Amino acid sequence: MDDQEHATERERAREIYRRIVAVSGGWEPTALSYYEGQPFKALVASMLSAQTREEHTIAATRALFALADNPSDMLKLTDEQILGAIRRVNYPLVKAGYLRDISTKLVERGGDVPETIEALMALKGVGWKVAVLTLAVAYGRTEDITVDVHVLRISIRMGLIPRETKQPPRANELLKLVMPRELWGEWNGLMVQFGRAICTPTYPKCKICPVRDLCPRIGV
Ligand code: SF4
């Protein structure tokens, strides 16, 4: 794709964004939207959200942060308390271990949540996607587009990235070529909502989709 084609794709992406935002008024907020500007909660919520349904992440984070909302208090909780709060996320035992490890490391560094992808990924349970999501939610940093299962699936269906794209970091690089810069930060949250309401994993609701005429429906 040359520069002119990238520019044309950016216009298409901008129109897709406008139309989806226009119908998004009644959609439930994403789990992460509750923790904007709150680094510890954003990091924990991002980690817990991996491979977990939004409603379960929302319930788990609410229950957990009612017990402890900072790393040192988190370390005072018993395993039973943590597991009781996060039992509905996927892999609760593994994530409870990550939670203890992350809290320990944060306490060692004075409680601050790291502000780089590399430093975040040095924490157990924090991969590229969780790190990018944490930076966006906690600090408003939007140098990258958070690519999760919703963004990957929908971007392929819309033809924004090639069908064979598998790895989130690669999808991020390709998406940045065709997404207007000002939309990078919002794209993930909007696609999570859109992926739950309309462009669902199975049986997407193309008949009522506001971008049907802009979407090649690749793989649908
Ligand atoms: S037309 Fe269908 S596949 Fe394309 S974005 Fe809409 S729901 Fe998804």
Domain that holds residue 12: 3-27+144-214
Q: Is residue 219 part of a domain?
A: no
Shared domain check, 111 and 80: yes
CATH number at residue 93: 1.10.340.30
Return the residue whose CA atom lies nearest to atom 1 of ligand 1: 212
Ligand 1 is surrounded, with C-beta below 6 A, by 157-158, 198-199, 204-206, 209, 211-212, 215, 217, 220
Domain end call among 139, 156, 187: 139
* Mutational test site, ligand 1, from 150, 153, 157, max ligand atoms within 8 Å of CB: 157
So what's the pLDDT on residue 7? 87
Q: Please report the pLDDT score of residue 5 as a whole number.
A: 85
Q: What confidence score (pLDDT) does residue 158 get?
A: 97
Residue nearest to atom 8 of ligand 1 (CA): 199
What is the chain's length? 220
Asked whether residue 45 falls in the same domain as residue 129, the answer is: yes
Q: According to the 3-state scheme, what is the secondary structure of the chain?
A: CCHHHHHHHHHHHHHHHHHHHHHCCCCCCCHHHHHCCCHHHHHHHHHHHCCCCHHHHHHHHHHHHHHCCCHHHHHHCCHHHHHHHHCCCCCHHHHHHHHHHHHHHHHHCCCCCCCCHHHHHCCCCCCHHHHHHHHHHHHCCCCCCCCCHHHHHHHHHCCCCCCCCCCHHHHHHHHHHHCCHHHHHHHHHHHHHHHHHCCCCCCCCHHHCCCHHHCCCCCC
Query: Could you say which residues of the chain have pLDDT below 70?
Result: none
In 3D, which of 39, 99, 58 has the Cα closest to residue 75? 99
Substitution candidate for ligand 1 out of 206, 207, 213 with most atoms within 8 A of CB: 206
> Of 139, 171, 204, which marks where a domain is finished?
139
Residues 8 and 52 in one domain: no
Q: How far is the CA of 123 from the centre of ligand 1 (A)?
A: 36
- Centre of ligand 1 to C-alpha 136, Å, is 26
Residue 220 falls inside a structural domain: no
Q: How many domains does the chain have?
A: 2
pLDDT at 6: 84
What are 51-63's pLDDT values in tens digits? Answer: 899 999 999 999 9
Ligand 1 geometric centre to CA of 179 (Å)? 17
- For 73, what's the count of Cα atoms within 13 Å in the CB-facing half-sphere? 9
Residue 175 falls inside a structural domain: yes
Does residue 134 share a domain with residue 42?
yes
CA distances to 7, 60, 103, 157, 186 from 63, rounded to whole Å, are: 45, 5, 17, 36, 26
Distance 204 CA to ligand 1 centre (A): 6
Domain-ending residue, one of 82, 117, 139: 139
In the block, tokens 């408003």 appear at: 140
Atom 3 in ligand 1: residue holding the nearest Cα: 217
Same domain for 130 and 151, yes or no, is no
pLDDT at position 28 is: 87
Q: Could you tell me the two tokens for 11? A: 């216009």
Q: Residues with Cβ < 8 Å from 70, sequence gap 6 or more?
A: 40, 111
pTM over 0.85: yes
